[in-house]
Amino acid sequence: MKRLSAAVFLVGLAAQATPSTTFWAPSNTAIQSFLVPHLTYDTYFWNKPASGFNGSPIYPVTTGLTMGILPWDDLQLEVGFDLLLPGTDPLLLNAKLGVPEDRLFAFQPSLAVGVFGAGTKRSTLATAGTDYNILYGQMQHTIPTVGGYVSVGGYYALQDRLFQASDGSGTQRAGFMGGVVSPDINVNLPWLSKINFAADVQTGKNAFGAAGGGITLYFTDKIDVLTGPVFFFDSGSQPGGRQWFWTVQLDVDLPLRSSPAPATPPVAAASAPAPGLAAAPAAQPAVVPASASGDAKPLVVPAVDTKSDAEVKKQ
């Protein structure tokens, strides 16, 4: 049982990794744009040694990549992976399919279904693997007038052995997931574009059950850092039995395609002169020599009459 608990907290970090997340869990319907890889580097740590442990209890560092792979606006799909290092069998896979807001009917919430924590090591009766295989679904809507969003949904894990409560109270492999994000607060400093606040929860007395919240600092529209605390519902399944950790998460978007250039308005064509009439040249300013004061004064020369000899004779 002790080996199982250790394996659980080492891989529980997948809940907040590269699937598009709110804070701790993938409690939203956000999906990476087509051909825009999203890189993440997430850390979770505590500031004091835990009883029976040497050094500060920390999660493995999670480094991952997620990218949108469908070019359509009405149906979107992202796929990705995480590497939890140091650790054995560090690879975890994820995917999310969704429909954006207002695409099916007026005031329709955005919808998404996905899977995360799909590991490569299968659990057996004797050993714990990394096959968490958590299915989830979310619906979400923008907060009218002010912005931000509220999202609600739930999850179900296909592998029950990895979702045992640390106190032996049984299996809890399903629960609620929800998240909320504030409207953007524009800062417009040279080094900081905007900020917002985010919080979410994933229920359940297991390694993934937690609530967290904090602030996101956007240095540009493609680079941000999210930081704040995460409180766990089953402290016995966390490193050193700790109830909460602090997290710092770096996120970077790397578009593979250039943004389309803004369309330039067409230049109005000059009107042509009426048939049979020659356009009179515009008056050309001439400059006379400078006066004693040194100022050059313009002199307008009248336009030359360009009538032909035939036209003159008709007159």
Provide the pLDDT confidence category of residue 302 given band limits of 50, 70 and 90. very low
Evaluate if residue 237 carries a pLDDT over 50.
yes
pLDDT of residue 266: 65
pLDDT of residue 268: 60
What is the per-residue pLDDT across 256-286, written as a single tens digit (0 to 9) for each? Answer: 988 766 666 666 655 555 555 555 555 455 4
CATH for 2-253 is 2.40.160.40
Q: What mean pLDDT is predicted for residues 107-131?
A: 94
Contacts for 24 with CB less than 8 Å, ≥ 6 apart:
15, 16, 200, 201, 202, 210, 211, 212, 230, 247
The domain ranges of the chain are 2-253
Provide the pLDDT confidence category of residue 298 given band limits of 50, 70 and 90. very low
**Token pair 């869990």 is at which residue?**
25
Of 15 and 91, more confident:
91
Average pLDDT, the chain: 83
- Helices marked H in 12-152: none
Q: Are 20 and 27 in contact (CB under 8 A)?
A: no
Q: What mean pLDDT is predicted for residues 12-24?
A: 66
Contacts for 78 with CB less than 8 Å, ≥ 6 apart:
19, 20, 31, 32, 66, 67, 68, 69, 95, 96
What is the per-residue pLDDT across 184-232, written as a single tens digit (0 to 9) for each? Answer: 999 999 999 999 999 999 999 999 999 999 999 999 999 999 999 999 9
Alpha carbons 155 and 132: distance in angstroms, whole number: 12
Of the candidates 72, 64, 75, 76, the one whose C-alpha atom is nearest the C-alpha of residue 31 is: 76
